[in-house]
Amino acid sequence: MTIDLDNALTEGAESASRPASGAQRFSPEELADLLGQHRPTEQQAQIISSPLTPRLVVAGAGSGKTATMADRVVWLVANGLVRPDEILGVTFTRKAAGELSARIRAHLAKLARASRHHGLDLAPEALDTEAMEPTVSTYHSFANAVVQDHGLRIGIERDAVLLGSAQSWQLASTVVEAYDGEIWDGFPAKSTLVGAVMKLSGECAEHLQEPDDVAAWLAEEASRLATLPLASGGGRGPASAAAKLVSTLRSRAAVAELVVRFSEAKRRRGALDYGDLVALAARIARDVPEAGGLLRDRYRTVLLDEFQDTSHAQTVLFSELFRNGHAVMAVGDPNQSIYGFRGASAGQLSSFPETFPEVLPDGQRRRAAVSHLTTAWRNSVSVLATANIAAEPLRNSVPYAPKAARAEVRSLEPSPVATRGRVVVARFSDELEEAAAVADQLATFARLREADGQAPRDQSLPTMAVLCRKRSQFVPIQRELERRGLPYEVVGLGGLLDTPEVIDVVSTLRVIADPGRSDALMRLLAGARWRIGPADLMALADWSRHLAGRRARAARVPDEELDAPGTVEEALVEGDIADAASLVEAIDRLPRRDWVSGAGRSLTADGLNRLARLRDELRTLRTLSSDDLGTLIAQVERSLLLDIELAARPGVSLHHARRNLDAFQEAAATFLAQSTSSELLAFLAWLDAAAQEESGLDMAPSEPVPGAIQLLTVHASKGLEWDAVVVAGLNHGAFPSGGNDRWTSGAEALPWPLRGDRYELPQWDADHPDLKGCLEAEKAFAEDASQHAEREERRLAYVAFTRAKELLVVTGSAWSASRAKPAGPSVFLSELRDAAEDYGFEILAWAEDGDLPEENPLHAEPEVAIWPYDPLEGPVDATTGLRRSLAPGRRRPLERAAADVLAALPLNPDEGDEDAAAAGSRTPRAARWLREAELLLAEREREVDDDGVRLPEHLSASSLVALGEDPEAVVRQLRRPVPRRPGMAARRGTAFHAWVEEYFAQSAMLDLEGLDHADEFVDEAYDLQSFVEVFQRSEWAHRSPAFVEVPIETRVGPVVVRGRVDAVFRDADGTWDLVDWKTGRAPSGREAASRAVQLAVYRLAWSRLQGVPLERVTAAFFYLADGRVVRPEKLASQKELEQLIESALT
């Protein structure tokens, strides 16, 4: 069908005066034509133009839900149904919120331009996109805003402290240490008990249960079961199992009592954690009608993204606030509900039509409408078939949850432009064969893709990933990628505290602060830098025991005997004093070169020299231990030579190489901002809590390295996509995992009968007259829970399969190094094999059970290597003496490079006549370089007369701006520098920059935006609160920066220009956006043009740093005094910047 755009626009203009309740001005198709976009599909058009009533949109993976939501907003605004500022969008991460917000803003800006171009008579508010932007937030941020605005109505003060996860862990640990009650079983360590308290506390909040009610319920249930008789005879089996079950319930009741004390401890401190935040917001929504009334008046329509990942408390929050048929559109996919372990439930989405009913004019209620998006725009035809195969059983109802809500989930359909694609299925004998095949498949894909010229013009190399259920499955695949020289990157492996460079820094900090941390010292001793061998380590351990024994005998042994070599008698008592020995002390007080231990061991000369150097280094660092924490960490980094090591990484920019250390510095800044103590030991305790509760802190954001293969878990892959994806390790018991987390098997989960989504879950029927009946019911419950867990794993497989665009490789193996018996194939792998003929999947290999070796082939020849080994070459086989062929050795090329550098330098620069040195001590090439340098220096000297001035080797970006504004003043300042008194504006700007940096650091660490920490950072004398409010209303507050406060430097002509980019954002199309905060007002005229020089320098530096064209980098100022975003129309090129400097010197 063809639409006459001119007629449609004319009719739209003529109908602009219609009331909001009238007929629509523009159809979705007409708007797409107007904005120059692809027309929506029939499904998308129905959703875009749906009435302002509750609606559930079931959107399959890659079906264009974000684009549809953005188009829905534009359609509502264009048709005068709502103003932009009457729209609320909510999603889970700041990254997703930023992407949705950016897309909506871009579409509204297009609408405004099209309106002016075609003379449309749209409402003024539809065109003022800067003043009336939609609100796009995260779920946690929205809950925080509700508590901030209405918490006083339920007794919550506005200055309540929000605890981070690590701080909550520390407080829970204190509560556990002070507990004097009985814990029955299941907690071998304090950390296990603290984890149970944290988990149960979080689940109580997510399901709106009071901890004391949970404790009472559990205690009553345990007492009831304890009084029940056995069915007959008191047999040992049933009696033992019954006693264990009762003990588990009592332990859970004790944990619930600890949760009660944990809640009381938070209350005494005026503190909240994230679970409290959402629970309190839900309570306000339910008990404070005024809150809902105000928000319904403010937001006429609400978009809830990723609704399948919401918890019960979040569902209550929005259903109570936006009740009575308010226009709420929830978008999600129950097949992608994979965060059940965090409290999410696919049932929340399925029950949406009943939870958010439509209210008819006569007051009657009916289920909300349901729409579907089933066209998959991401996947090829073959890849899409695997997703539908995996999801098919999820459409069936389950007998264990007869009351569960069920939303229709339709099969995905390929897009009209979908390619055929490839799916490869394989099962191998062992994990080494599997890893080799994975590496071969990816190498072949990259080679063919490049040879066929299929890569997009702006992407020379394909994107590739390997997804595994567990991180431990990465190891053999990493080795095979290294063996082939294929670049790879492990994403999010264990968190920030598990990255090698951060481990070294933290280990050094521990050694500085605590002489008992011999374990941390071992990390340094055994590392690539010091490489202390086993013989020296054993001798050092002997020396540490010798020192401990000497302390013990000091009161009764004459001083002159203390330094005598060890004796046999000393060796006999070494075991008794081992606990008091410290390797840290041993290094600080090294023995004489002739010392021999009682066991006959001594330190080698080389080992002793290395230890002495390490001793001196640690002593120097200890003198700084009371200094500023950031300064100490930076000095540790330099002492360990990590700055040089990271800068030398081949093929990686310095900024990318340093990202983990920079993130660690930001973590330290967060600790200082949140903690009442700045001591090193307190910081290390905070890191311990973070390692327990936050999986070692969030990793620094990582942009994919071009051509590198990313390795990550399936959970971490959600929301991402690649050209080629390998899903490895599909073995029975691994994926699906085979376990179940039913609440009766542990002591930390909330009992399922108390959960808000209990109708979606299997339940234990404990209403029996005897223990035998209860135990049999629990066994049936365990089977139902296993079935429920497999459905959760099936959703995970669906997510994994739908990450691939063109190639999907799905593999498994029977034997791994850790298995005593071969594993069968995963049910998901078997399903694809069975469907291979019908769908054209390729069977690369299939190891049948009957063909497998009876013994684990990976145990036949254990790998033994000599340690320590050369870090530039890799380990050497202990039996053959040959280097293991992992990655190619680097020592020879590095030594050649070092030799070239040395050959170009003078051999004896301080000896003899300079001319003689130049003639005899330098190579001809070096002498020629020296002569050229002398000529260039002489030429520069001639160009500068007596009254001239030479620019320094380094200039700040602001100095370069000043050169454009008043070069004579800059020259005078350089000729005779005069100190300037810092003005109020400069101090205000510094304070605001610190606030913004901390704001984004908090958000990155916690994935929570909009936290009101103004009281911690804002000095009233600077009047920063007004700037903070302007910033929080701006687009930048809702976007997720890739980097914050990035130092840059780049050469422009004869000088190196240095600066610091305030924030760097990455747009959806890969464009980099640099932003500089200004607390003043936007300039105009010539001043505005000269200010743009700063952005031009930043753009040039970032382009060089990232290796991208200049046109892929944009830049802007954000002036807070008037809330304006200024993007100069033209930024100076490299040549123009060089001309600016040259003109200043002439």
Rounded mean pLDDT, 906-928: 52
User: Greater confidence, 914 or 707?
Assistant: 707
Q: Quick one: pLDDT at residue 566?
A: 45
Domain annotation covers residue 95: yes
Question: Which domain does 210 fall in, by range?
Answer: 161-269
Is 904 in a helix, a strand, or coil?
Answer: coil
Considering just the CA atoms, what is the radius of gyration of the chain in Å? 33
Query: Mean pLDDT: which of 166-170, 930-934, 1111-1115, 1137-1141 is highest?
Result: 1111-1115
CATH number of the domain bearing residue 1013: 3.90.320
Rounded mean pLDDT, 536-549: 89
Domain annotation covers residue 885: no
Is there a binding annotation on residue 66?
A: yes
- How far is residue 469's CA from residue 481's CA, in Å, rounded to a whole number? 19
Tell me the pLDDT band of 184, cut-offs 50, 70 and 90: low
pLDDT digits (tens, 9 = 90+) for 814-829: 999 888 899 999 999 9
Q: Quick one: pLDDT at residue 705?
A: 56
Tell me the residue ranges of DSSP E strands in 156-286. Answer: 161-162, 271-272
pLDDT digits (tens, 9 = 90+) for 751-762: 999 998 888 889
Q: Same domain, yes or no, for 43 and 192? A: no
- How far is residue 728's CA from residue 473's CA, in Å, rounded to a whole number? 8
Rounded mean pLDDT, 1129-1146: 79
Q: Quick one: pLDDT at residue 112?
A: 83
Q: Same domain, yes or no, for 1012 and 1104? A: yes
Is there a binding annotation on residue 983?
A: no
pLDDT digits (tens, 9 = 90+) for 943-999: 444 444 555 556 677 766 666 666 666 555 555 454 444 444 555 666 677 677 666
Among candidate residues 600, 619, 638, the one where a domain is terminated = 619
Domain annotation covers residue 635: yes
- How far is residue 771's CA from residue 1085's CA, in Å, rounded to a whole number? 86
Among candidate residues 824, 859, 894, the one where a domain is terminated = 859
Q: Same domain, yes or no, for 1072 and 989? A: yes
Query: How many domains does the chain divide into?
Result: 6
Amino acid at 93: T
Q: Same domain, yes or no, for 689 and 751? A: no
Domain annotation covers residue 899: no
Is there a binding annotation on residue 1003?
A: no
Mean pLDDT, the chain, integer: 80
User: Greater confidence, 715 or 862?
Assistant: 715
Rounded mean pLDDT, 415-433: 95
Per-residue pLDDT at 837 exceeds 70: yes
Looking only at Cα atoms, what is the longest distance across the chain? 112
Domain annotation covers residue 254: yes
pLDDT digits (tens, 9 = 90+) for 366-418: 999 999 999 999 999 999 999 999 999 998 888 877 777 777 889 999 999 99
Q: Same domain, yes or no, for 559 and 591? A: yes
Q: Quick one: pLDDT at residue 1086?
A: 76
- How far is residue 111's CA from residue 804's CA, in Å, rounded to a whole number? 34
Is there a binding annotation on residue 62?
A: yes
- CB-based contact 850:838 (threshold 8 Å): no
Q: Same domain, yes or no, for 81 and 34? A: yes
Is there a binding annotation on residue 64?
A: yes
**What are the two backbone dihedrals, phi and then psi, of residue 393, each rounded to the nearest 5 degrees?**
-65, -20
Q: Same domain, yes or no, for 430 and 348? A: no
- How far is residue 45's CA from residue 64's CA, in Å, rounded to a whole number? 12
The residue among 331, 535, 420, 1119 whose CA lies nearest residue 808 is: 420
- How far is residue 1117's CA from residue 1127's CA, in Å, rounded to a whole number? 7
- CB-based contact 80:25 (threshold 8 Å): yes
Q: Quick one: pLDDT at residue 9?
A: 40
pLDDT digits (tens, 9 = 90+) for 568-621: 334 333 333 334 568 888 898 999 999 998 888 999 999 999 999 999 999 999
Among candidate residues 859, 875, 897, the one where a domain is terminated = 859
- How far is residue 309's CA from residue 317's CA, in Å, rounded to a whole number? 14
- How far is residue 892's CA from residue 897's CA, in Å, rounded to a whole number? 9
CATH number of the domain bearing residue 303: 3.40.50.300
Per-residue pLDDT at 491 exceeds 70: yes
Per-residue pLDDT at 707 exceeds 80: no
Per-residue pLDDT at 652 exceeds 50: yes
Is there a binding annotation on residue 630?
A: no
Domain annotation covers residue 398: no
Q: Same domain, yes or no, for 1015 and 1133? A: yes
Domain annotation covers residue 66: yes
Rounded mean pLDDT, 830-841: 96
pLDDT digits (tens, 9 = 90+) for 65-120: 999 999 999 999 999 899 999 999 999 888 788 888 888 888 888 888 888 777 77
Domain annotation covers residue 777: yes
Contacts of 660 (CB under 8 A, 6+ apart): 496, 499, 501, 502, 699, 700
Q: Same domain, yes or no, for 571 and 710? A: no
Is there a binding annotation on residue 36?
A: no
**Sheet order of strands, 804-815 included:** 488-490, 709-713, 464-468, 722-727, 804-815, 422-430, 842-846
User: Greater confidence, 1087 or 468?
Assistant: 468
Q: Same domain, yes or no, for 588 and 724? A: no
Q: Same domain, yes or no, for 667 and 697? A: yes
Tell me the residue ranges of DSSP E strands in 356-412. Answer: 358-359, 365-366, 369-373, 375-376
User: Greater confidence, 723 or 1046?
Assistant: 723
Q: Quick one: pLDDT at residue 515?
A: 84
Instruction: For residue 87, list its beta bridge partners.
Output: 301
Q: Same domain, yes or no, for 102 and 179? A: no
